[in-house]
């Protein structure tokens, strides 16, 4: 997207949305690299590696807000426009879904088919069921990924992962990247790691604080961990408490649907140390109203994934005269491990 169009979109989003009553959006953090509901196979969990107990956190901030597929309540999901909208709202983290085209290019798309969020059905009526893997990158580049959401987004392209990473870097945003349906794309984990490395996301602060790769497939998450142990990873789902030590061997986060959570489960996850020595974190999805956000925060989650980051942030912001027990900050909250566990790398 040309810079002029980006500026216009940011201005439009800021002008159109109702921002938190407490004031202006939280500024985006310094750039790490250089500046929903869905189901899939969990895969096998492999050996029963154990993890040391992290112990209670000495001091925990409130949950960080993650813009789901970008600020997808206000712009077409998994597009550069959605990343721009998230930046305009001050969302420090953006969640996005990655798949692979027929010719091996990594692109952003949630569904494994194209008809819901592009005009593929109109442009290619003979190509049903319009699977992402059945189209070349050039064909995807010719689709409209924004018109379905609203007229002013008409012509928004399906972004490549490379283009999306560069847009986030420009805004100083961090990335929660979901590998979508990895069973359809053998070897996609290595390709993702390659692109992340090429774009500078696997060095320094970017690796430690600016990136998490997650999936509903435990096998895929473990593969990412084995390919590059420095990458922080998350499992989408709710393993049984007895299985959590297995996941803690290769996951830094356990990220269940918000309707499945209890305070006891969150505590059980956070009591374990992940592969990087710090306590496991819990992110929950997809929370789009104030009451659900307050409930999730009361359970002690570390992050809330939402289509409406402004709504969630406003719900978690204390009103006038109320003393907050939360520490708001733009970066990932993290958790302080117990004395037996080392800090983050």
Is the bond preceding residue 129 a cis peptide, omega within 30 degrees? yes
Establish if 340 belongs to a structural domain: no
Residue among 68, 124, 225, 258 flagged as catalytic: 68
Position 117 in a domain: no
Token pair of 168 as six digits: 């986030």
* Residue 172 structural domain: 54-111+159-316
Structural domain contains residue 275: yes
Please, which residues have CB within 8 angstroms of residue 168's CB and are 6 or more apart in sequence? 31, 83, 94, 174, 175
d(CA 256, CA 180): 16
In angstroms, the CA 110 to CA 99 distance is 8
Buried b (16+ CB within 10 A) or exposed e, 55-64: bebeebbbbb
Whole-number pLDDT of residue 47: 38
Using the structure block, give the residue that is written with the tokens 């990655």. Answer: 98
151 belongs to a structural domain: no
Looking up residue 63, the CATH number of its domain turns out to be 3.20.20.190
Task: Judge whether 97 and 108 are in contact, CB under 8 Å.
Answer: yes
Smallest Cα–Cα separation from 256: which of 239, 236, 240, 270?
Answer: 236
Is 124 annotated in the active site? Answer: no
Whether residue 192 is contained in a domain is answered as: yes
- Note whether residue 154 is domain-resident: no
CA dihedral 304→305→309→311, nearest 10 degrees, is -60
Strands 232-236 and 253-255: parallel
What span, in angstroms and rounded, lies between the C-alpha atoms of 247 and 224?
Answer: 13
Contact between 174 and 209 under an 8 Å Cβ cutoff? The reply is yes
Count of beta carbons in the 10 Å neighbourhood of residue 207: 20
Number of domains in the chain: 1
Examine residue 339 and state whether it is found in any structural domain, yes or no: no
Q: Helix, strand, or coil here: 328?
A: coil
Candidates 110, 258, 276, 308; catalytic one: 110
Alpha-carbon torsion (76, 17, 210, 325), positive or negative: negative
Residue-level pLDDT at 60: 60
Known catalytic membership, residue 110: yes
Gap between the Cα atoms of 333 and 302, Å rounded = 7
Q: What count of other Cβ atoms lies within 10 Å of the Cβ of residue 101?
A: 22
pLDDT in tens, the chain (345 residues): 444 444 445 445 544 443 333 333 333 333 444 333 333 334 444 433 333 444 333 346 789 999 999 999 999 999 999 999 999 999 999 999 999 999 999 999 999 999 999 999 999 999 999 999 999 999 999 999 999 999 999 999 999 999 999 999 999 999 999 999 999 999 999 999 999 999 999 998 778 769 999 999 999 999 999 999 999 999 999 999 999 999 999 999 999 999 999 999 999 999 999 999 999 999 999 999 999 999 999 999 999 999 999 999 999 998 654 434 343 333 443 443 332 222 322
Residue 35 falls inside a structural domain = no
Q: Work out the widest C-alpha separation in the chain, in whole angstroms.
A: 62
């Amino acid at each position: 997207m040309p810079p002029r169009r980006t500026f216009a979109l940011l201005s439009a989003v800021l002008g159109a949305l109702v921002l938190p009553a407490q004031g202006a959006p939280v500024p985006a953090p310094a750039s790490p690299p250089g500046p929903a509901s869905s189901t899939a196979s969990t895969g096998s969990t492999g050996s029963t590696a154990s993890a040391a107990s992290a112990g209670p956190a000495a001091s925990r901030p409130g949950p960080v807000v993650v813009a789901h597929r970008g600020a997808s309540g206000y712009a077409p999901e998994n597009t550069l426009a959605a990343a721009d909208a998230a930046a305009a709202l001050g969302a420090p983290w953006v969640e996005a879904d990655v798949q692979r085209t027929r010719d091996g290019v990594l692109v952003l798309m949630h569904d494994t088919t194209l008809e819901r969020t592009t005009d593929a059905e109109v442009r290619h009526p003979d190509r049903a069921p319009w699977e992402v893997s059945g189209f070349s990158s050039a064909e995807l580049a010719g689709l409209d990924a924004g018109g379905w959401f609203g007229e002013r987004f008409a012509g928004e392209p399906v972004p490549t992962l490379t283009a999306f990473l560069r847009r986030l870097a420009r805004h100083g945003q961090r990335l929660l990247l979901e590998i979508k349906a990895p069973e359809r794309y053998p070897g996609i984990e290595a390709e993702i790691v390659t692109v992340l490395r090429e774009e500078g996301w696997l060095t320094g602060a970017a690796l430690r604080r600016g990136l998490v790769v997650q999936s509903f497939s435990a096998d895929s998450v473990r593969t990412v961990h084995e390919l590059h142990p420095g990458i922080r990873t998350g499992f989408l789902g709710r393993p049984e408490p007895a299985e959590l030590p297995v996941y803690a061997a290769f996951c830094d986060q356990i990220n269940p649907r918000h309707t499945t959570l209890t305070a006891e489960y969150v505590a059980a996850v956070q009591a374990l140390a992940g592969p990087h020595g710090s306590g496991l974190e819990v992110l929950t999805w997809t929370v789009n109203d104030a009451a659900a956000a307050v409930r999730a925060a009361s359970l002690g989650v570390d992050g809330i994934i939402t289509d409406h980051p402004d709504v969630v942030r406003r719900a978690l912001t204390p009103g006038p005269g109320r003393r907050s027990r939360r520490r708001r900050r733009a970066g990932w909250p993290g958790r302080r491990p117990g004395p037996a566990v080392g800090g983050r790398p």
